[in-house]
Structure 1
Amino acid sequence: MRRVPLLLALLLLVLAGCTAPERNEPHEAPDQTDPRPSAERWLPEPGVAWQWQLSGRLDPTVDVPVYDIDGFNHPKSAVDDLHRRGRKVICYLSTGAWEDFRPDAAKFPKALLGRGNGWEGERWLDIRRTDILEPLMAERIDMCRAKGFDAVEPDNMDAYANPTGFRITAADQLRYNRLIARLAHDRGMAVGLKNDLDQIPQLVGDFDFAVNEQCAEYDECEEMTPFIEAGKAVFHVEYELKTAEFCPRARSLKLSSMLKKYELGVWRQAC
């Protein structure tokens, strides 16, 4: 969209102030779900360094500009502290699987719970039931916003490619992933696409960055290039490879890559 010349913009502003009718209505607080334009959202660029810590006591001293931490497990004060240290902070949430250890677990009807997803206490959700899941996920993303997070990392976004116990199609997944992206954007937050490599061409325009696990191990990192070409960061981790085995290629692709252990604690080896 073209920019309005500065003098013309000032003239229009003055005229608008002169002609606008007077209002005697009381001042209202801004709508919490007022969307901010993308220019005001944080939009991470390719190659930016990051830390991903989902377990253990949070170490805020890693010298990187981006942190990705669990949204439920950390209070607003932890996010504020990271902001004071100059970090942007991503809120990790599971949006495609139910977790029995979350404080809102009882709000999910049993009919929506499918097979286990390989992690203790977690089961796939029937993402076709957006009538039920949309308000539940909106509450979670509201929590992220209230704590001051800059972005959301929604996990388990590829149910259609897994044995969930439900007949979830690729079209169902696209619809749900776009719903999650909209919920984050409506709250002025950036949002990342987690894995779901096959749908990147359809979803790169809906998401502000990507988060990927093990694309080097499975020879899939080139599939992340639509995000890089769009000027959007790809936050990438490997668990099984040595840094010498994946970092040179990751750097050439402009991925934000590092080696982590599966528990995603403090330890990291960056490329």
Structure 2
Amino acid sequence: MRRPILLLALLLLLAGCTTDSDSRASAPRWRPRPGVAWQWQLSGRIDTSVDAPVYDIDGFDRSGATVAALHRKGRKVICYLSTGAWEDWRPDAKKFPRSVIGKGNGWKGERWLDIRRTNVLEPLMAARLDMCRDKGFDAVEPDNMDGYRNTTGFPLTAADQLRYNRLLAKLAHDRGMAVGLKNDLDQIPRLVKDFDFAVNEQCAQYGECAALKPFVEADKAVFHVEYELPTSRFCAQSRRLKLSSMLKKYELGAWRRAC
């Protein structure tokens, strides 16, 4: 009569051995909806008091404790990473071979990556996404996702960009995290199904916000910022389009003015 009890105990023990990573990957991932407010802070001391249900913060610079503190306040937290450009100050910078590092992208210490070289970049990006997952982030914002439209030093094509962006989306999803498409407006129609939300800079200034409609129509959030236009110049349009819009300063500190 003891065998069923022992078998039940063994099954319970095995169930308890499921790793956090396995549980997280099998759980439904977060899916932000259009119009949800957000805060994007990549510099300075994180101000956790901002009344926004979504925070987007630097994945390397911020600790799991910061993510946990935001979770205790009911926030969802996005992990900012540069996935299309090399940054010379990151702790893993020396792991990138020179052959995949191209021309500067206009920001000090940053250079475009040869996204065709997925054999080199995939394990490096997977390790970064592991870091985001292990710190407890809910989602990832991969930056510099439109190298093919810039002077990178490599003959990148639209097909190269689609392949790389979809790879990053899969890597994030495999780890149970949502993922956002950063800019890359021209490829939205082909990528909207692969991504859970969009992040855009200055679509109002350049008259491009209508290109983001496929995300909203798919019931996916568009997190949008302007730097140079006053809110009076873009908030009315943002409300019509159901964008999550705000005015920020280029350094992306705590200051914000939401629509």
TM-score, normalised to structure 2, is 0.93
Q: Map of 1:99-118 to 2, 5 A cutoff?
A: 99-118=87-106
Letter of the 1:244 counterpart: S
1:72 aligns with 2:60: yes
The aligned counterpart of 1:204 is 192
- Matches of 1:240 and 1:261, distance apart in 2: 8
- Matches of 1:30 and 1:144, distance apart in 2: 16
Q: Deviations over 1:235-257 (max 9, x none)?
A: 00000101000000010000000
- Matches of 1:83 and 1:99, distance apart in 2: 28
2:113 to 98, 102, 125: 125
Q: Map of 1:229-268 to 2, 5 A cutoff?
A: 229-268=217-256
Moved more, 21-30 or 119-128: 21-30
What RMSD over aligned residues (CA atoms) do the two structures have, in Å?
1.8
The aligned counterpart of 1:11 is none
**Identity in percent:** 71
* Pairwise CA distance, 1:33: 6.0
* Pairwise CA distance, 1:24: 6.8
1:90 aligns with 2:78: yes
1:179 aligns with 2:167: yes
The aligned counterpart of 1:41 is 29
The aligned counterpart of 2:46 is 58
Letter of the 2:30 counterpart: W
Structure 1: segments with no counterpart, 5+ residues: 1-17
1:145 aligns with 2:133: yes
* Pairwise CA distance, 1:31: 7.7
SS of match in other structure, 1:40: coil
Letter of the 1:226 counterpart: P
1:32 aligns with 2:21: yes
The aligned counterpart of 1:195 is 183
Letter of the 2:258 counterpart: A
SS of match in other structure, 1:198: helix
* Pairwise CA distance, 1:183: 0.2
Contact kept? 1:34, 1:187, Cα under 8 Å: no
Structure 2: segments with no counterpart, 5+ residues: none
List structure 1 runs of 4+ shifted beyond 4 angstroms.
21-26
SS of match in other structure, 2:77: strand
SS of match in other structure, 1:59: coil
- Matches of 1:172 and 1:35, distance apart in 2: 30
1:218 aligns with 2:220: no
- Matches of 1:59 and 1:100, distance apart in 2: 27
SS of match in other structure, 1:200: helix
TM-score, normalised to structure 1, is 0.89
* Pairwise CA distance, 1:30: 3.2
- Matches of 1:42 and 1:31, distance apart in 2: 16
- Matches of 1:76 and 1:83, distance apart in 2: 10
Letter of the 1:122 counterpart: E
